[in-house]
A and B are shown apart, each in its own frame.
Chain A
């Protein structure tokens, strides 16, 4: 097996057994980056020098028996909205075109402690606002399954980098589907953990109450291994939750006997592509054959999740993005007349259209006279959605459905109509509103040769049930990877 075809856990094992050195792995992946970046543009920044230097350090620690973990020596790509000390961090925005953080996000530090080699920073929708990675100020990322198609978003660079073997795994962030949907479009595994499971310290916030960091990787075993490393209680993040149940690899068990799986009828209605529906229902069938108890049910409120989400996310974003003002870091406009003009010019030139659209909407829904009608109303609807999930999880261990209504659209098809683009998030968004974990994994290929994603949703802190179900399905489904580059 060539190095690039290995999963993260396989590579770490090979390094441990001295079949491969860390430097060989880094060089192999850098060569792949050199060969493919021109087409796919997965990265905003590749830290070649840093990666080579880390490789030597980490190899020494592995040889000395200091680093023994399941990911030691494996090269990783980080979404460009997570701070990395000494490495440019742009959020794919012009307004952070020169921002070099002086500290690293907690999730990145955890990976480094486990012996990860940071390759660089992956492209994304600007400030994670988008579903296609087309709103990046640094060019679009293309889908490795077909470069005329988008990789999804906002963690499109991370998903594409994993699919294109430009890294062995990646971190993404998910506010309304931003890990699961690109994972689905690029045929990789992605997990959005329970809110509070992974520290948000160092993650540049979009919607603080919804954002969560998670892995994008080649298979379910990698997903469990990465989760074990990044799930820590962090005193620097007030919303971080102290948990003991972080032994995710213990859930890599091929068994779903008695697992109660609910299929929400609401997820299979109008707007869902027929091929996606068939592939997802077939996956449910497979699990049923393995002994799972599968039944349909009505989740309700699905159509209200998107308007509630856009109200809450835009409101929080409008406030979170106020700090980008040209004073402390990042871009500052060149010509201005006084303070307020400096603010306006800096922000108007620094932010792209989609970011401005959401800041405007968010500022409006919080403004005097509208707060109750829009923002508080959305928070009430959020409470109802959470309640609907609570009721569902009283009956089921796992909810199974599609990740997105379609497979990856062509470049340029989505951005023209924002509402239509937002509708693409219909199956992922309510998971963020309710703070639940959601896993996305490939379950088929459509007639265009594009991967189809299956979504498994669990109750809060029930990631292990998702991993067990996903692992079982993966074993039956068999290997899933691209045949060749297009």
Chain B
């Protein structure tokens, strides 16, 4: 395997992705990511110099809406699936120190 994924990398990606892996999962993730990256490295064989990265295949552009209020109060719908709700707001663990 050409790509060796370190513990630090897995730890770092876990912080970015907000995932907490068990020891066993971490080992598996290191292996999986390494082999995926080896596979992706195949793209390096292609010369893409001067090729523009393509985000959208079909040339759609300039899609806008007019600045007109179209939504009414839909608080009940927005809060309907909330795991925690208080005073019309979503509850979360405290964010202030």
A98–B95 Cα distance when bound, in Å, is 26
When distances are taken between beta carbons in the complex, the residues of chain A under 8 Å from B58 are 194-196, 241, 435, 460
When distances are taken between beta carbons in the complex, the residues of chain A under 8 Å from B21 are 348, 356
When distances are taken between beta carbons in the complex, the residues of chain A under 8 Å from B48 are 377, 380-381, 383-384
When distances are taken between beta carbons in the complex, the residues of chain A under 8 Å from B92 are 327, 339, 342
Contact indicator B44/A419 (Cβ below 8 Å): no
A381–B42 Cα distance when bound, in Å, is 11
The CB with the most chain B CB atoms within 10 A, among A241, A330, A344, A347, is that of A344
Chain A nearest CB from B33 CB (Å) reads 6
Which residues 36-57 in B have Cβ within 8 Å of A in the complex? 36-37, 39-46, 48, 51-57
Contact indicator A380/B52 (Cβ below 8 Å): yes
Which residues 340-367 in A have Cβ within 8 Å of B in the complex? 340-345, 347-348, 351, 353, 356-357, 359-365, 367
The CB with the most chain B CB atoms within 10 A, among A235, A238, A330, is that of A238
A339–B97 Cα distance when bound, in Å, is 11
When distances are taken between beta carbons in the complex, the residues of chain A under 8 Å from B53 are 376, 379-380, 382-383
Task: Indicate the size class of the contact surface on chain B.
Answer: 35 or more
Stretch at the interface among A130-138, A170-178, A285-293, A305-313: A305-313
When distances are taken between beta carbons in the complex, the residues of chain B under 8 Å from A374 are 40
Q: Given A340-B18, A418-B36, answer yes or no on A460-B57 (Cβ-Cβ < 8 Å).
A: yes
> Is B4 on the interface with A (CB-CB < 8 A)?
no
> Is A328 on the interface with B (CB-CB < 8 A)?
yes
A345–B83 Cα distance when bound, in Å, is 15
> Is A155 on the interface with B (CB-CB < 8 A)?
no
A382–B43 Cα distance when bound, in Å, is 11
Which residues 72-97 in B have Cβ within 8 Å of A in the complex? 74, 77-78, 80-84, 90, 92-95
> Is B69 on the interface with A (CB-CB < 8 A)?
no
A481–B65 Cα distance when bound, in Å, is 47
Chain A nearest CB from B3 CB (Å) reads 10
Q: Which residue of B lies closest to A311 (CB)?
A: B40
> Is B2 on the interface with A (CB-CB < 8 A)?
no
Contact with B along A8-26 (1 / 0, CB 8 A): 0000000000000000000
A297–B14 Cα distance when bound, in Å, is 45
Q: Which residue of B lies closest to A436 (CB)?
A: B57
A343–B92 Cα distance when bound, in Å, is 10
> Is A304 on the interface with B (CB-CB < 8 A)?
yes
> Is A253 on the interface with B (CB-CB < 8 A)?
no
Q: Given A196-B58, A364-B33, A367-B13, answer yes or no on A345-B39 (Cβ-Cβ < 8 Å).
A: no
> Is B68 on the interface with A (CB-CB < 8 A)?
no
Contact indicator B43/A308 (Cβ below 8 Å): yes
Contact indicator B43/A378 (Cβ below 8 Å): yes
When distances are taken between beta carbons in the complex, the residues of chain A under 8 Å from B32 are 357, 361, 418
When distances are taken between beta carbons in the complex, the residues of chain B under 8 Å from A238 are 60, 63
B9, B18, B35, B78: the one within 8 Å of A344 (CB):
B18
> Is A434 on the interface with B (CB-CB < 8 A)?
yes
Q: Given A318-B17, A386-B54, answer yes or no on A361-B33 (Cβ-Cβ < 8 Å).
A: yes
Chain B nearest CB from A486 CB (Å) reads 35
Which residues 413-449 in A have Cβ within 8 Å of B in the complex? 418-419, 422, 433-435
Chain A nearest CB from B56 CB (Å) reads 7
When distances are taken between beta carbons in the complex, the residues of chain A under 8 Å from B51 are 380, 383-384
> Is A32 on the interface with B (CB-CB < 8 A)?
no
Q: Given A327-B83, A381-B48, answer yes or no on A363-B54 (Cβ-Cβ < 8 Å).
A: no
A310, A330, A367: the one within 8 Å of B81 (CB):
A330
Chain A nearest CB from B70 CB (Å) reads 10
Q: Which residue of A lies closest to B92 (CB)?
A: A327
A322–B95 Cα distance when bound, in Å, is 18
Q: Given A336-B93, A379-B55, A383-B53, answer yes or no on A348-B19 (Cβ-Cβ < 8 Å).
A: yes
Contact indicator B40/A328 (Cβ below 8 Å): no
Q: Given A380-B52, A435-B57, answer yes or no on A419-B35 (Cβ-Cβ < 8 Å).
A: yes
Which residues 368-403 in A have Cβ within 8 Å of B in the complex? 374, 376-384, 386
> Is B7 on the interface with A (CB-CB < 8 A)?
no
The 4 closest A-B pairs by CB, nearest first: A435-B57, A379-B53, A329-B81, A380-B48
- Provide a sorted-by-A list of 19 A–B residue pairs whose CB atoms are within 8 angstroms: A195-B57, A307-B41, A307-B42, A328-B90, A329-B81, A329-B83, A339-B95, A343-B18, A344-B19, A347-B17, A357-B33, A363-B17, A364-B37, A365-B40, A378-B43, A380-B48, A380-B51, A382-B54, A383-B51
Q: Which residues of B contact A (CB under 8 A)?
A: 9-10, 12-14, 16-21, 25, 28-29, 32-33, 35-37, 39-46, 48, 51-58, 60, 63, 65, 74, 77-78, 80-84, 90, 92-95
Excluding A359-B19, A383-B54, A384-B48, 13 further A-B contacts by CB distance (< 8 Å) are A195-B57, A241-B58, A303-B42, A306-B39, A308-B43, A328-B82, A343-B18, A345-B20, A360-B10, A384-B46, A419-B36, A435-B57, A460-B58
